[in-house]
Amino acid sequence: MNHVDYDVKDDTSNTSDKQKKTDDCDTNIDYKSPSGIQNVKPVKKTQNHQQEKRTKLHDTRQETLGAGNLKEAVRLPKGEDFNEWLAVNCVDFFNEISLLYGCVSEYCTEKSCPMMSAGQKYEYLWMDGVKYTKPHKCSAPEYIDLLMSWVEYQINDSNIFPVDDGKPFPENFRNVVATILKRLFRVYAHIYYHHIDKMTQLVCHVHLNSCFKHFVYFVKQFQLVDEKELAPLANTIKVLMNKDA
């Protein structure tokens, strides 16, 4: 293990920016205790106008996806609001990763995965700036539970993901989404390194590849996750994207 990576150190090279980014996303949140990964369910849709718009965008996302061209599918649909597009995709990516990890969660245990790693080279320590103010070394299932609960909490916070019509997105919304996606990537990285055999055995690998590919196209299109964050899966990304070249 020669690479330990956690959130205060990995955002930017500028210290004050680093701290700010973490604060933007992580403070002022009344932290909810982890609900357990088994309880992470796709986020419910409410029925107001804002949500209707989002549901429509979600449908557009799925339809464009069906057309097969991911490069096109991730683009902001003409006339749509960028933040709405970020919100819809962020929620969908969260739901997809929840379900994918759910395929192998019973095999991802304290014993099989005593640390949150992506191969030999990368280990992730959890920190949310609220309950965990210092990097917390933990097993993969604990880390993923903390991570998914943290994302779920933010998605359900209407100050961050507004549901009322006309209520604006927070100014730092793009950064919030970038941080969420950066962290969700780590679940993909862990699955690819440590549970790919089980995924293949369960015939979930095809869906895993297509969800991950969509995720990568999206984060690259809007430069939401740094290349260095994506480094653990650089080869997988190359292979998946070369298939489209």
Binding-site ranges for Zn ion (CB under 5 A)? 108, 113, 140, 194
Find the shortest distance in angstroms from Cβ 210 to Zn ion: 21
Q: Which is nearer to Zn ion, 194 or 213 (CB)?
A: 194
Q: Which is nearer to Zn ion, 1 or 130 (CB)?
A: 1
d(CA 66, CA 74): 12
Count, residues in the chain: 245
E strand spans, 83-147: 117-118, 122-124
Q: Give Cα separations from 131 to 15, 61, 127, 156, 197 (angstroms).
A: 21, 35, 8, 18, 34
Find the shortest distance in angstroms from Cβ 117 to Zn ion: 8
Find the shortest distance in angstroms from Cβ 102 to Zn ion: 13
Find the shortest distance in angstroms from Cβ 182 to Zn ion: 19
Q: Which is nearer to Zn ion, 37 or 160 (CB)?
A: 37
Phi, psi of 3 (to 5 degrees): -140, 110
Q: Which is nearer to Zn ion, 50 or 105 (CB)?
A: 105
Give the three-class secondary structure for 116.
Answer: coil
Find the shortest distance in angstroms from Cβ 1 to Zn ion: 16
Q: Which is nearer to Zn ion, 6 or 107 (CB)?
A: 107
Find the shortest distance in angstroms from Cβ 127 to Zn ion: 20
Q: Which is nearer to Zn ion, 108 or 199 (CB)?
A: 108
DSSP of 11-33, one letter per residue? S-S-HHHHHHHHHHHHSS--PPP
d(CA 97, CA 103): 10
The single-letter code of the amino acid at 39 is N
Cβ–Cβ < 8 Å for 101, 144: yes
